Amino acid sequence: MKINAKYFGMISYEENDTIFLPSGLFGFEAYTKYLLIPFEEGDCLMFSLQSLENPELSFILLDPFKIVPDYKPNPSAKELHSLNLEDPADLAFFVISTIRDPLSSSTLNLKAPLGLNRSNHKARQFMLDQSDYTFRHRLDCFVKKEDPEC
């Protein structure tokens, strides 16, 4: 199959590459089928979550642990159960990022990460109860900790 991906142009994919978000993403509940595409071959930091139902809809995802090593998302047992995890090692987390110019003003949504069961490709967006995470953590705060706004 093929799709004209927002950041990559025309690409081919197999049906078993599809990521299923039965409840969609917050604000985009109608879209439930996506591809997870790395921006560079072999890259495990930055991805495009490309909607298969709307080629113009794509989210930039980052591996939060590569940027915030002490990130410890703690979704509820009910939320985790919805992914049908048989092995906890199959769970991958991603955070939605808003990339801006300059790059230092870009933000990460650490409050509502995306959880993906890598074995069955089922995913969902979690809403964490943890108060130390917000919807808009500035990317530069992880480099310049002395900034009082961080």
Domain boundaries, the chain: 2-142
Q: How far apart are CA 108 and CA 134, in angstroms?
A: 8
Q: 47: Cβ–Cβ under 8 A, 6 or more apart, which residues? A: 36, 37, 38, 39, 60, 61, 62, 94
State how far the Cα of 31 lies from the Cα of 24, in Å rounded to an integer: 5
pLDDT level of residue 150 (50, 70, 90 thresholds): very low
Q: What is the tens place of the pLDDT at every residue in 66-97?
A: 988 889 999 888 889 999 999 989 999 999 99
CB 21 within 8 A of CB 34: yes
CATH number of this structure's domain 2-142: 2.30.290.10
Q: How many residues does the chain have?
A: 150
Q: What is the pLDDT of residue 146?
A: 46
**Is 143's pLDDT higher than 70?**
no
CA distances, 118 to each of 60, 69, 112, 131 (Å): 18, 21, 19, 27
Question: Is the four-CA dihedral 132, 122, 55, 3 of positive or negative sign?
Answer: positive
Nearest Cα to Cα of residue 84 among 118, 51, 111: 118
pTM score: 0.86
Q: What is the pLDDT of residues 25-66, one digit of tens each?
A: 999 999 999 999 998 887 788 899 999 999 999 999 999 999
